[in-house]
Structure formats: structure tokens, C-alpha cells
């Protein structure tokens, strides 16, 4: 089977995208998706997305992790899929699309930046040294004095596979406060089972927990190993955040064809 694909990245978080909107593609098995995402034997990516049709929406986002399994929301992936939809002729001033966690809105600024509206946060589980929060995907967030020195792959795996999280997995974020409105985030992603250069839902989780205004509007700039993002949101209290927008670049890299047996 030959497939046409497109490669995109959002601050180094990279994806293979297949257009299932204009031409319906044959179903891909878990093993085939895993092969496509393999950096040695396939194209190589942190995940794979299908741009698909959905009644009542501009399109549907279907996302798979690099392990081949369908996964929860991916913020950087969502931003890349919006840019891809525009590239494929779906032009809207404000996009409405459906993902595994429900409806999202998005817009493309004049400079190419994609702004993606995330789901409201309704609860944060605070612990002494970390917090657990769901921003479309579940995240373990730990603040540290020097994120650069953290062995993210090893420490992240220890937490992700610990007794509390082993069954469903969790994404693990290490966050360093740079100044009042800037943080540095490194993320271990489940499904990739390694550190990624950037994680949109992880950046969102870290940002809302770094609010500098204790109520009302906040904007937090976020440095990741793959580049810079920003998160805008309204803080209602320590457990409730709404009007959350993840903002940053989404870049086309190349297109091609791959034979999959």
C-alpha cells in the first residue's frame, strides 16, 4: 500500500499527517502507524494524524502516538493540523474542529502563528512536590530549580511507569520558572516513551500552574527545547482556568510517499 503523507512540526514536536478528508485512505493498523513513526525504518515522528470529515465541523482530528495507539489530545498536533487544513484548501477565519476531547477553535494569525483554544481546566490535584492536571491529556507537573539538569528520559519514565500511573500512563513535565511570566518546560511523553522537544498540552498545563495574576487574564511565555510558545488564559481560582489559548508556530517540512506492506 502506498500512502501520501505530509510532515509538519510545532516547535520540534513532529508529526506525519495524512489527508483523509479529500480522499479516504485505507485503515492503518497499530503496527503500520508504529512503522510510519519509526525514525529508522519509517518516516519518523512523535505522532500521526488524520485530517478527516466530521458533520457540523470544519474537520476532525484523529491522533495516534508513535506507539501506534490512538491517543488523547495533542496541542502541537492540533496547531499543525489547522495549518495543514489551510494548506489543503480549508480556509476559515476561525476554525471549528472536533478532537477526542471535544470541540476546539483555532485561528491563523497573519505571521503564520496558530492559536488553538484548549479545553477549560476544572480541577487540579495538588501534592506537596507536584500537581496533576488534565489539559486534554493527563499531566504530572513538577517545578524544579534547573530543568536543564534533569534526566527527563529516566526520571520521566520512573514516574510514568510508577504504580500510580503505569496502567494508563501519564505525561511528565519538569518546569523551571525563569521570571514572573516566562517558564522553561521539558516533557516526557507517554506513547512516545521519551522526551519530546515540545508538548503542547504539557506547556499548557505548566503555564496555567504558573499564573502570575491570581485572578483574571494571564499570558505566560514558554521556552521548550524545540522553541517558544505562549499560553493565554483566565484564572478563576487555583482549580479553574478558562479561555485557554495555546499559541505558536506550525511549520510544513516536506511531503512524500511511502510504501507500507
Give 253's pLDDT tier (boundaries 50, 70, 90).
Answer: very high
Residues 6+ apart with CB under 8 A from 48: 15, 16, 17, 18, 28, 33, 36, 37, 63, 64, 66
Report pLDDT digits (tens) over 96-134: 999 999 999 999 999 999 999 999 999 999 999 999 999
Using CA atoms, how far apart are residues 56 and 136, in angstroms rounded to an integer?
Answer: 21
Phi and psi of 220, rounded to 5°?
-120, 125
Question: Active-site residue 199, yes or no?
Answer: yes
Using CA atoms, how far apart are residues 79 and 4, in angstroms rounded to an integer?
Answer: 20
**Backbone dihedral region for residue 105 (phi beyond 0: left; psi -120 to 50: alpha; all else: beta):** beta
Q: Which of 37, 74, 80, 247 is catalytic?
A: 74
pTM (two decimals): 0.96
pLDDT given for residue 260 in this prediction: 82
Q: Nine-digit cell at 198?
A: 515540545
Give 58's pLDDT tier (boundaries 50, 70, 90).
Answer: very high
Q: Which of 37, 80, 199, 247 is catalytic?
A: 199
Asked if 212 and 220 count as a contact pair (C-beta separation under 8 A), the reply is yes
pLDDT given for residue 261 in this prediction: 76
Question: Active-site residue 247, yes or no?
Answer: no
Distance between alpha carbon 35 and the CA centroid of its chain, in Å? 21
Report pLDDT digits (tens) over 132-180: 999 999 999 999 999 999 999 999 999 999 999 999 999 999 999 999 9
Q: Nine-digit cell at 124?
A: 487540579
Q: Interior CA angle at 141 toward 196 and 98, to 5°?
A: 65
pLDDT, mean of residues 24-39: 95
Amino acid at each position: 500500500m502506498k500512502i501520501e503523507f505530509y510532515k509538519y512540526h510545532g516547535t520540534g514536536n513532529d508529526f506525519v499527517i495524512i489527508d483523509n478528508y479529500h480522499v479516504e485512505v485505507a485503515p492503518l493498523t497499530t503496527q503500520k502507524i508504529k512503522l510510519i513513526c519509526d525514525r529508522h525504518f519509517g518516516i519518523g515522528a512523535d505522532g500521526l494524524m488524520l485530517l478527516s470529515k466530521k458533520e457540523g465541523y470544519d474537520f476532525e482530528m484523529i491522533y495516534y502516538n508513535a506507539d501506534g495507539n490512538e491517543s488523547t489530545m495533542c496541542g502541537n498536533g492540533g496547531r499543525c493540523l489547522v495549518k495543514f487544513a489551510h494548506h489543503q484548501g480549508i480556509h476559515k477565519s476561525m476554525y471549528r474542529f472536533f478532537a477526542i476531547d471535544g470541540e476546539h477553535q483555532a485561528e491563523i494569525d497573519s505571521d503564520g502563528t496558530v492559536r488553538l483554544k484548549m479545553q477549560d481546566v476544572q480541577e487540579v490535584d495538588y501534592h506537596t512536590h507536584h500537581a496533576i492536571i488534565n489539559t486534554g491529556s493527563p499531566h504530572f507537573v513538577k517545578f524544579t530549580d534547573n530543568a536543564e539538569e534533569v534526566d527527563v528520559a529516566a526520571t520521566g519514565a520512573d514516574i510514568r511507569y510508577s504504580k500510580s500511573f503505569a496502567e494508563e500512563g501519564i505525561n511528565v513535565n519538569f518546569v523551571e520558572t525563569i521570571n514572573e511570566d516566562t517558564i522553561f518546560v521539558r516533557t516526557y511523553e507517554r506513547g512516545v516513551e521519551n522526551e519530546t522537544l515540545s508538548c503542547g498540552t504539557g506547556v499548557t498545563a505548566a503555564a496555567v500552574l504558573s499564573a502570575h495574576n491570581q485572578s483574571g487574564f494571564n499570558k505566560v511565555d514558554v521556552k521548550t527545547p524545540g522553541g517558544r510558545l505562549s499560553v493565554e488564559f483566565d484564572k478563576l481560582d487555583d482549580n479553574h482556568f478558562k479561555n485557554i489559548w495555546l499559541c505558536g508556530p506550525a511549520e510544513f517540512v516536506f511531503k512524500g510517499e511511502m510504501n507500507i506492506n
